[in-house]
Every structure is written in structure tokens, then in C-alpha cells.
Structure 1
Amino acid sequence: MSTPTPPRTGPVPATAKRRRVPLWDNARFACIVLVVLGHAIQRLTYDSDVALGLYLLVYAFHMPAFAIISGYFSKSDSPTRTRMARVITDIVLPYLIFEGLWTLTKWLVEGQAEPNFTEPSWTLWFLIALALFRLVLPYLALLRWPLAWTILISVLVGYWENVDSTLSLSRTLGLLPFFTLGWWLAHHKVLERFDLIRRRRWWVRALAGAVLAVAGWAAWFFVDTWRAVNLREWLFYDDSYSDLGGPWWSGGVRLSLMAIALVLSAAFFALVPRGSYWWTHFGQYTMYVYLLHSFVLYPFRENGLLRHAEPTWLWLPSVIAVSVAIALVLATKPVRVVFRPFVEPRPAWLFADATLAGREGRRDDPTGSRRPR
């Protein structure tokens, strides 16, 4: 009869460190580059069909893709005190800080400013959208067919003229299906089941490249049509159908644009590299790029450089290269150290329990980036 093995004594080994998935860091960085690029070429679109075509291609899917990523890393269970505090420190406070900075900037540059914290300046609408996404997700998760409900809400909200850009409500409800889709994919482990995170078959990459190429060609070739129907405004998910001059069946247009965004986002994710590269870790700091890049671009937009420059084939690649450079620089450590109090404020005086303002270890930021402090 064998002698029972005595229980192990001594210190319990630490839990294995959670391994990062390079795909998501790569996807986040690619998305934030598209955000910078879209804002950089916006003024060029008035004089260049090529710029407008690229602009429409980017706006057709880049924010839906960002919403999918954010939803993928969001939790639908009852929020803990720490997670509730993070909504305040990671979203609400940065919004108030940067909205105040934009008000000051406009006053200094333009000589006038009308502070209105219910109307987000430029890029800040997505912060409010993220806050509302996280607040409603636990309730959506209680429903049967949450995706279907959010699609219905997105389509119907365009018919309601009283739902506008106040607190980004129109855009939030318009993009809610993509955030919910990201959560649904993670909740049901769809990517793991089909091994989509680790593997990419060559024909999938070829098909994804073809899809984006065809979409880019269509955006450029039919650019006069898209300009006539004001397609860029439709892609913002911001104005009501009546404000856009749309017919009674405009809900079908919104549904079609959502389907196109889903296809293009899938193609985008299929092309995102799965390995780790020298730039991969920058995907952990997309919030810094998102909040700061508009201040970098603002002087160039205001002095006319991005409006009256000759829109040649050489100029556009240059703007693309500069956009990548801006994203890289704003994600570097020196920039993060300087601007951390603005992007990641931790005011202990604000909370009844001061520990809620502490900087915990690895966590998910509002854009879904899981990273150290």
C-alpha cells in the first residue's frame, strides 16, 4: 500500500502572468493611426477627390472597429467599486479636463469661446460614448438578443430629431451595436472557438485585402456621387435623417452602412498582424494619442496648411506618414509622463475612499488596452 504524499508546504507559487495578445495591441495602434489620418486629411477633402475617397474609406469603419475593440474588453457583470471609480477617473475627468483645455485654446487662438460641457469638442465625443457604453452594457446583457435590440435602436434613433449631439447621444446610440458586438464576441468566445486570434489563412488575408481595395476604389471612383449625397455626414452617425435630407426609408441606409462597416472591420482585423513588433506596445497607449493628437493638428488646420496645400499624389502619402509619426510620438514614454495627470488623473481628494484613486497594476483602459500603470 503506497504512502500518501504529504501536503506541500512553503510559499504558494504566484499566479502565472497573463500573456498579452499582440493582435489587440496591433489593432488598437492601427485604429488610432486611422483616427489621426482621418482628422489630418479632413481639410484636404475639399480640393482632392483622392483625399475624399480615402477619408470616406477610413470613416466607413475605423470608429466601428474601435468600438468593437472597446466592447471586446468590457465586462457586463455588476461593476465593482473600482470599476465604477475608473469610469470617473478614466473617462469623466479626462473629458472635463480636455474640454476645458479646448475652451482655453479657442479663447487664446480665436479670441472667443463659449464653454459648453454638454457639446463635446472635436474628438471628445468618444469619451462620453465610452462612458455610456459601459453604463448600459450590464442592462443589455440581461436581454435576449442584445445585438438585435441595439441594431434596432441605432436604426430608429435617426428618425428622432430631438436626439442630437448633446452628450454625444446620437453617435453613442448609432455606434452601440458595434460595442455590443465586441462584448458578444468575447462573451461567447467566438474568436477562440474558430482560432481567429492566432491563425490567419492566406486566402482570408487575400480576401480581406481585396475587400478593402474594392471599397477604396468605390470610394474614389464614385466620389462625385458620395459628395452629392453627403455621405461623409451619414458616416458620422450624428445627425438625424431629416437633417441629412434623407427619405423615409433612411433607416435602410443606416442599416446598409452598418453592414458595410462590419464587413470592412472584419477585413481590417483579418489584415492586422498577429505577431509582436517594435511598435506593438504603442497600442497600449491609444488614449494618449486620441486625446492629444487634435492639439497637434489644430495649428495646421487653422493656418490653412491642411486646406490650401496642393492635393497631389505625393502630398497625400506625406500626410499619411506624418499621421503615423504623430501616433508614434504621442505614445512614447516621455509624452505619457508629462501628460499622465491629464489623461489618467487620480485625485484622491475626490473620493470618500481615497484608495479608489490608486493606480492598480494591469488593467483595461477605456479603449480596451490592457496594460501596466
Structure 2
Amino acid sequence: MSETTAPRKTRTPFWDNARFAAIILVVAGHAIQRLTYDSDAAYAVYLAIYAFHMPAFAIMAGYFSKSGAPTSRQMARVLTDIVIPYLIFETIWSLLSWVIDGDPGIDPTQPSWTLWFLLALAIFRVALPYLALLRWPVLWTVAISVGAGYLPHIDATFSLSRALGLLPFFTIGWWLHQHDIVERHRLLRPRPWPLVVFAAAILLGALAIAWFFSDTWRDVGLGTWMFYRDDYSSLGLATWWAGGIRLLLITVALVLSAAFFVLIPRGQKRWTTLGQYTMYVYLLHTFVLYPFRETGILRDARPDWVWLPVMLLASVAIAVFLSSGPVRRVFRPLVEPRAAWLFADPPLAGREGRRTDPTGARRPER
């Protein structure tokens, strides 16, 4: 069958649902961050979110990544879908820092706020063809993640420390697709209710543990451990067994991610299509939340049972708004820049089959 008559692939609603649910967690984690200083409940929710939300994103990104030798179009997509948006928004944040804080420094090697994940994705995609050549690639990436924490010279420059820390999740996502695990085991079919209850119990149990032991988690700086950013000595644990903590966190993240995926609806919902546009939410929500982050608006906000639900609901509203059609039309030149001028072969910047989502969502040409 010729390319012009080949049928379009049917989208799987589950993945769009999962992407949109995950991006809501990203917004929520940032929205309640200022509440965590004075509220154990907010801190517990924060820890529960950070325990798995970026690992889940990395798993989805790996699932939709290819390990073969990249084509020229795929290499171009790394530039148009990741590197160029990163440079655009890093420049914007640098200019804002200059205007607000008087800091004129522009340093693209040190990503601002959430932009680190774009560079991590670029590293993932460049590394994957080499990882795919190895026997037991998942085990190798776990060893890389754990081992990187012992090396203080591996830092946040170009997001390298976080990319290496999260690399096992990306590789696991690729491995699941490579071995057709989801299809062979029919993991996207309707789930039996006992499994749904069990998955919900796992997530609620994690939330309960985060709450009951919140003072302990504050003392050990557990939230910082979940960033996968700092070496163990910087985290206050310069011992030979410090890597065991990261290995435990990787295990917990996998369990919670699995529970999260079990709870995701399998069918088409009214909000399913919004999961195709999480790049907009990811890059733009920080501007909405910046005033809350940099001011004392949410410090000492009481009572908890009012402000915490308010900010969580606001996170859902922000995600829906930023993925809406009007917002996409306004900010498309920044989030999905056309870059035909950059390439010796301009069609490489074409829109067909573009990946315009941090986790690799494909959309048809507009």
C-alpha cells in the first residue's frame, strides 16, 4: 500500500489520558510548593507527587522513543521539539530574572526551573541507540543512576545529574514497548475492580506514610532526594551505602507509577485530546505560578483544608486552560517554533507527525 493511501493509526486514549493526568500533577506539585513550609498535609501531598510524577513522564517518553539509528528527520525533531523551545524559554526566564532581580546573566547550561526536563529528554534520546546495543540495558541504567550520585562533579549542568538519575525510567518505558509488554499482557484492557482498589490503596498508603512521618522526611530532606539532582554527599549522606537510598526511591517510583497507570481511564473522555498538548502546560504554567513562588502569598495560608484543595483544583484549571485552543494559537510560535531556516534541507522542519509533547505524543499535521 502506498504512503498516500496508508490508513492513519488510531490513537490510544489511555496514553493521552495518562499524559494529561501527569501534567496536572506537575502543575499541582509546583502550585502547592509554598504551602509545604507551614503545612504537613501539603508537604505529604508534595512528597507523594514527587515520588513518581517525573518518573512516570520518563516512562511514557521512553515508551514512544525509537532505539534505531536516527533518521535525519528524527534528529531534526530533537532540535525543533526540544532544543529550540528550551533556548527560547531559557532566554525568556533569563530576561525576567534581569528585569525583576537585576541579574543580567544568561547561562543556557543551567536550566531555569522546569526546563531541565527538556534537556534530559534530549540526553535520553541521544543515549538510547547506544543503550539498546547492550545486554540488560535496564540494569545498566539503574547502575548508572545509582553510581552517578557518588560523583560530586556530575551536577545540574545541562541537567546531566537529573538525566542520569531518571534514565532507568526512560529505559524501562522503551523496554516495555520493545518487548510488546503492554499489548501481549493486554494491560490497556478494562481493569478488574479489585486491581483498581489495590492501586488506589497503594497511592493512598504512600500519602499516609508521607503524612504520618512528615517530620522525619523534613529532617532527612526527602523531597530533595526525589529531584535526582544532587550527589549523596551534598544530601548529607557521604557513606558507601547511600546509593541504596536512590535504589529504594527508584523502586518506590516504579510501584507508584504502576498504580498511577492502573487508575488512568482506558477510554475516550472529554479531556482526552488535551493530553496531546502537555508541552504547552509544561512550558507555560510556571509563568502563571511565578507570583505565588516568588512572593509570600501562600506562606502561613490557613486553614490547610481550604488552601490545599483550592490550589489543587486551581492546578487542574490551569492545565485545562493552558492546553486550550486559544492559548495554543497565541503561544504556538514559542512552543512549536517553525525552524525551516535552520536546516540545509528545509522539509526536515515539516509538521507532519511532529512530536510536540514532552513524552513523545504524535499529532497529525495541522
* Global fold match (TM > 0.5): yes
Alignment match of 2:49 (pick from 45, 50, 58): 58
Is the aligned partner of 1:95 residue 2:80?
A: no
Cα distance in 2 for residues equivalent to 1:301 and 1:231: 20
Cα distance in 1 for residues equivalent to 2:185 and 2:350: 38
Cα distance in 1 for residues equivalent to 2:358 and 2:306: 36
Alignment match of 1:341 (pick from 330, 333, 339): 333
Cα distance, 1:111 vs structure 2: 2.6
Partner of 1:44: 35
Cα distance, 1:36 vs structure 2: 0.3
Cα distance in 1 for residues equivalent to 2:207 and 2:79: 39
Query: SS at the partner of 1:75?
Result: coil
Is the aligned partner of 1:305 residue 2:286?
A: no
Query: SS at the partner of 1:178?
Result: helix
Cα distance in 2 for residues equivalent to 1:34 and 1:71: 19
Alignment of 1:1-373 (within 5 A): 14-246=5-237, 247-361=239-353, 363=355, 365-373=357-365
Rate the CA distance shift 1:128–1:198 in 2: closer, same or farther, 3 A: same
Could you tell me whether the CA contact under 8 Å between 2:34 and 2:292 is conserved in 1?
Answer: no
Consecutive unaligned residues of structure 1, counting only runs of 5 or more, are 1-10
Could you tell me whether the CA contact under 8 Å between 1:154 and 1:173 is conserved in 2?
Answer: yes
Could you tell me whether the CA contact under 8 Å between 1:44 and 1:311 is conserved in 2?
Answer: no
Query: SS at the partner of 2:304?
Result: coil
Could you tell me whether the CA contact under 8 Å between 1:282 and 1:328 is conserved in 2?
Answer: yes
Among all aligned residue pairs of Structure 1 and Structure 2, give the percentage whose two residues are the same amino acid.
63
Q: What amino acid does structure 2 have at the position aligned with 1:318?
A: V
Could you tell me whether the CA contact under 8 Å between 1:48 and 1:311 is conserved in 2?
Answer: no
Q: What amino acid does structure 1 have at the position aligned with 2:336?
A: E
Cα distance in 1 for residues equivalent to 2:297 and 2:323: 25
Could you tell me whether the CA contact under 8 Å between 2:111 and 2:158 is conserved in 1?
Answer: yes
Could you tell me whether the CA contact under 8 Å between 1:170 and 1:239 is conserved in 2?
Answer: yes
Cα distance in 1 for residues equivalent to 2:355 and 2:105: 36
Could you tell me whether the CA contact under 8 Å between 1:94 and 1:344 is conserved in 2?
Answer: yes
Q: What amino acid does structure 2 have at the position aligned with 1:205?
A: V
Could you tell me whether the CA contact under 8 Å between 2:110 and 2:157 is conserved in 1?
Answer: yes
Cα distance, 1:314 vs structure 2: 1.3
Cα distance in 2 for residues equivalent to 1:88 and 1:306: 38
Rate the CA distance shift 1:140–1:310 in 2: closer, same or farther, 3 A: same
Cα distance in 2 for residues equivalent to 1:362 and 1:90: 8
Partner of 1:3: none
**Please, which moves more after superposition, 275-284 or 301-310?**
301-310
Rate the CA distance shift 1:210–1:217 in 2: closer, same or farther, 3 A: same
Could you tell me whether the CA contact under 8 Å between 1:40 and 1:306 is conserved in 2?
Answer: no
**Please, which moves more after superposition, 161-170 or 350-359?**
350-359
RMSD: 1.4
Any idea what the Cα deviations from partners look like across 1:6-53, whole Å, max 9, x if unmatched?
xxxxx9992222111111000000000000000011111000000000
Consecutive unaligned residues of structure 2, counting only runs of 5 or more, are none
Query: SS at the partner of 2:18?
Result: helix
**Please, which moves more after superposition, 301-310 or 185-194?**
301-310
